[in-house]
Amino acid sequence: YSRMVIKQVSEAKGIVIEARFKATKTTFDELLTEEVNIPLTEAQQVVYGPIQDAMNSHEHKTFLLHGVTGSGKTQLYLRATARCISQDKTAIILVPEIILTDQIVRRFVETFGDEVVVFHSKLTVQQRNNNWERLRRKDSHIIIGARSAVFAPAEDIGLIVVDEEHDPSYKQEDMVRYHARNVALWRAEAHGCPVILGSATPSVTSYYKAKQGEYHFLELPNRIFEQPMPKVTIVDMKEEILHGNYSVFSDAMSRLIQHTLDEHNQMIILLNRRGYSTFVMCRDCGETIMCPHCDVAMVYHQAGEELRCHYCEHHEPIPTVCPKCNSKRIKFFGSGTQKVEEELRRHFKSARITRLDQDVTKNKQLAEDILHDFGAHKYDILLGTQMVSKGHDFKDVTAVGILTADSVLNIPVYTASERTFDLLTQTSGRAGRGEKPGSVVIQTYNPLNYAIIKSKAHDYIGFYNEEIQNRKALGYPPFREMIHMVVRHQDMKTLESIANRIVDDLESYKGNQDILINGPYEAPIKKVRDMYRLAIMIRGTDLTNLKEYIYNSWIFTQEGLLIDVDPV
């Protein structure tokens, strides 16, 4: 019962005695004094030294830890967290996705037991309140969670870790916009403690700051037991079509899948699309079935036999005739995860296959069960979207297949190449983390793109050098700051008038300042939820004054305006 209920009953019965107690918790005296239970390799010890020094001196420093996949970054996080607890301070450990919290939580709970609390957006109010109370009483010193955990109510922070710091999931895109990495840096500075930004593929901006001396650079260039990086094969799908192979699987991919099954190993297959087919089109007139509320094609989902919009969740039955020409020749084009799963089951009948995408992970417990069962080798193949590429460590996974390497490359954002390299490198890194060597097959229609070529060699430095030159030539971050605006309205003429007025106002304000304003122009998706959208892009070497002007002007209060500072 709550304290208030107990008090009321006590007073009604004439009882005036009030008892208080504190929950017991596990102690780790030996761990906290010598940290001997978390051994480090020689390379890890070299990297840990500067972190330990910063923690001992209670000094705020930002460390960029560039460690290849499988190099033992989590072991360093554990060791640094042990030192943090020994100082009776709180550690915050951030991961990019809720689905990854389960795996890292297990590692931390095995080491620290009751010291760990979990924060993420799926917690109930009661669970969140219980966690807050444990932190307030200092029963727990370790906070693990996705981006919202950076706001956890910790009063004495001694360490913040941002794992997979490159991941765009750390950017909150809805409602109040923020980047958890930036918030982590601000909180660490306020508490005078170190921050560890860890990644096998650091963001271009973070790596640039490390090279400029703003961050302290640490490196783990090899896997923890010196296992070789997986061998990567790039397949040009245009060549496959010329040779008569119209399947979703190239010959090299099919051979890798069969070899993996024959050797009783496991495989991860990445397809960055969910649903059954990408779009539905009439073969006679070419009409694509579009969402009535958004300017996007509807996606066919086999479960429920329906078309669904992934932006507004509008769904409707599959049409029997074309709404434009009444033809019955309706055909499904493209391949989603559901369709690829069906193809896998048809071609590899003995394989035990499971799928992990947003349709599945709406149920967090189901997603955790799938990952747990895959880790226990109850499945041979894990098929999924981007979430299968992040942070997973399965010792029996010797093969990785990437079906559509170009899907991220074609997104109209300046970070498209960076996201492609990150996705391919991170997913490839899931293979060969145990005793057996790994193999990767990447299918693409653009095999000469530098992001794909560099990912084959696991060459982050080579990719960075080419990407940073392009960023500098085009005036993108980290060389210039950016503000991206999206103006929305149900009426297109009214929208154009508002957007043009905003641009005119900003052009008048900037004067001779080094600020470039592009727009208004159609947003990549020009209508979402019955609202038309126009975009405005602002770039400049220093936008501090412009931000203040926007905040205090009529622009900031304009209904339907979205402002994204430092878009990713």
In tens, the pLDDT along 4-24 reads 444 444 454 454 444 443 333
3-state secondary structure of 332: strand
As a whole number of Å, the end-to-end CA separation of the chain is: 47
Q: Taking 80 as the threshold, does the pLDDT of residue 359 lie above it?
A: no
Range with the poorest average pLDDT among 75-84, 209-218, 405-414:
405-414
Q: Taking 80 as the threshold, does the pLDDT of residue 76 lie above it?
A: yes
Position 56: which residue type? N
Find the mean pLDDT for residues 185-208: 96
* Radius of gyration (C-alpha) of the chain in whole angstroms: 26
Label residue 380 by pLDDT band (50, 70, 90): very high
Q: CA angle 18-23-28, nearest 5°?
A: 150
Task: Determine the Cα–Cα distance for residues 80 and 279; give it in Å rounded to an integer.
Answer: 48
Task: Determine the Cα–Cα distance for residues 507 and 277; give it in Å rounded to an integer.
Answer: 45
Percent of the chain with pLDDT over 90: 57
Task: Determine the Cα–Cα distance for residues 160 and 145; give it in Å rounded to an integer.
Answer: 12
Contacts of 514 (CB under 8 A, 6+ apart): 540, 541, 542
Q: Of residues 258 and 288, which shows the higher confidence score?
A: 258
User: pTM here?
Assistant: 0.85
Q: Taking 70 as the threshold, does the pLDDT of residue 63 lie above it?
A: yes
Label residue 334 by pLDDT band (50, 70, 90): low
The mean pLDDT value of the chain amounts to 87
Q: Taking 90 as the threshold, does the pLDDT of residue 302 lie above it?
A: no
Domains and CATH numbers, the chain: 29-220 (3.40.50.300), 231-275+335-473 (3.40.50.300), 481-565 (3.30.70.600)
Task: Determine the Cα–Cα distance for residues 63 and 193; give it in Å rounded to an integer.
Answer: 11
Instruction: Check residue 253 and give its pLDDT.
Output: 96
User: Smallest Cα–Cα separation from 51: which of 153, 188, 181, 168?
Assistant: 188
User: Smallest Cα–Cα separation from 76: which of 198, 191, 188, 192?
Assistant: 198
Position 21: which residue type? F
pLDDT tens-digit map of 114-173: 899 988 777 788 888 888 888 888 888 999 999 989 998 888 999 999 999 999 999 998
Find the mean pLDDT for residues 399-409: 88
Percent of the chain with pLDDT over 70: 90
Find the mean pLDDT for residues 498-512: 94
Dihedral, CA atoms, 513, 477, 462, 383, nearest 10 degrees?
A: -160
Q: Which residue has the tokens 């601000």?
A: 186
Instruction: Check residue 259 and give its pLDDT.
Output: 96
pLDDT tens-digit map of 99-128: 767 778 888 988 998 899 988 777 788 888
Instruction: Check residue 22 and give its pLDDT.
Output: 37
DSSP assignment letter at 200? S
Instruction: Check residue 180 and give its pLDDT.
Output: 95
pLDDT tens-digit map of 522-536: 998 899 999 999 999
Contacts of 201 (CB under 8 A, 6+ apart): 166, 421, 422, 425, 426, 460
Find the mean pLDDT for residues 44-56: 95
User: Smallest Cα–Cα separation from 166: which of 175, 179, 178, 176?
Assistant: 179
Range with the poorest average pLDDT among 85-94, 362-371, 477-486:
362-371
Find the mean pLDDT for residues 335-353: 88
Q: Taking 80 as the threshold, does the pLDDT of residue 369 lie above it?
A: yes
**Which parts of 391-514 are beta strand (E)?**
397-402, 439-444, 481-489
Instruction: Check residue 33 and give its pLDDT.
Output: 42
Element (H, E) at 121: none
Instruction: Check residue 3 and give its pLDDT.
Output: 43
Contacts of 461 (CB under 8 A, 6+ apart): none
Label residue 309 by pLDDT band (50, 70, 90): confident
Instruction: Check residue 235 and give its pLDDT.
Output: 95
Find the mean pLDDT for residues 367-379: 89
Task: Determine the Cα–Cα distance for residues 339 and 309; give it in Å rounded to an integer.
Answer: 17
Q: Taking 70 as the threshold, does the pLDDT of residue 28 lie above it?
A: no
Task: Determine the Cα–Cα distance for residues 344 and 114; give it in Å rounded to an integer.
Answer: 42
pLDDT tens-digit map of 225-257: 778 899 999 999 999 989 999 888 999 999 999
Instruction: Check residue 387 and give its pLDDT.
Output: 79
User: Are 328 and 318 spatial neighbours (Cβ–Cβ below 8 Å)?
Assistant: no
Contacts of 443 (CB under 8 A, 6+ apart): 235, 237, 250, 253, 401, 402, 403, 404, 405
